[in-house]
Amino acid sequence: MGVGRALSDAKPYVAMVLLQVGFAGMYIVSVASLKRGMNHFVLVVYRNLVATVLMAPFALLLERGVRPKMTVRIFLKIMGLAILEPVLDQNLYYMGAKLTSAGFASALVNILPAVTFLLAVLLRMEKVRLRSLHSQAKIAGTVFTVAGAVLMIMYHGPVVQFPWSSSASGGAGHHVDGAAAAAAATASSASSWLNGTVMLVGSCVCWSGFFILQNNTLQSYPAELSLTALICVLGSAMSGAVALI
């Protein structure tokens, strides 16, 4: 009895670990596809189409008798979820990863719990009690994750010019031209990196908003598989429209 209850209590945590494993596999496949020349808008459409094909049969079979009635309010919430995650979050993430690097993008996504916590507090979905150990742990985790993200944004690895990497021959004119070209390339790289960082942060904000709206939607539509399938269907349609444009 005790073992069975422990396993039941551990299910949400095991599910979250498996979710992270799935994200890791998705990052690998996505980066490989983008490096081979696939457009990120098209990749988002394919991603949601495949998810729809895989999730729809499970939703139809396993939640046949538990799906609540669809209302206009619930449908609007599902549309909002499709806009936040498949359309905005995924496209912003891929654009940011392309302008920065896969490692930097994956690491910056770690601020997601902190952003979600802050949004939940602002929307009064999360109560903070300073004397509570639970709240203190959340505040400390938020501070550390934001501090780490700021550190990564401020320092992402400078381009170091070694004396032996440039040719000494060629005269002063070639040296000046080379220095100017290097400065221009560095400025362009810094601008791209900054734009990519902004897109990644925007991706995290959209993803956090998705989590909060999803939690609210599940209260009125408690059918997880069906909700996921509907988000993927609408996400495929909206992402397809964005890709065509």
> What is the distance, to the nearest Å, from the Cα of residue 83 to the centroid of all Cα atoms in its chain?
14
213 contact partners, CB below 8 Å, separation of at least 6: 77, 80, 81, 84
Q: What are phi and psi for residue 159, nearest 5 degrees?
A: -85, 115
Average pLDDT over residues 11-23: 84
pLDDT of residue 124: 79
Q: How confident is the model at residue 185 (pLDDT cuts 50, 70, 90)?
A: low
C-alpha to C-alpha distance for 37 and 43, rounded to whole angstroms: 10
CB 159 within 8 A of CB 189: yes
C-alpha to C-alpha distance for 45 and 228, rounded to whole angstroms: 15
Token pair of 231, please? 């988000």
Question: DSSP labels for 175-229?
Answer: HHHHHHHHHHHHHHHHHHHHHHHHHHHHHHHHHHHHHHHHHHHHHH---HHHHHH
Rounded to two decimals, what is the model's pTM? 0.76
Q: How confident is the model at residue 158 (pLDDT cuts 50, 70, 90)?
A: very low
Average pLDDT over residues 117-125: 83
List b or e across 18-47, with b for residues whose CB sees 16 or more CB atoms inside 10 angstroms.
Answer: eeeeeeeeebeebbebbeeeeebbebbbeb
Residue 107 pLDDT > 90: no
Question: DSSP labels for 39-79?
Answer: -HHHHHHHHHHHHHHHHHHHHHHHTTTTPPPP-HHHHHHHH
Token pair of 213, please? 């709206």
Residue 52 pLDDT > 70: yes
Considering only residues 81 and 131, tell me which one the structure prediction assigns the higher pLDDT: 81
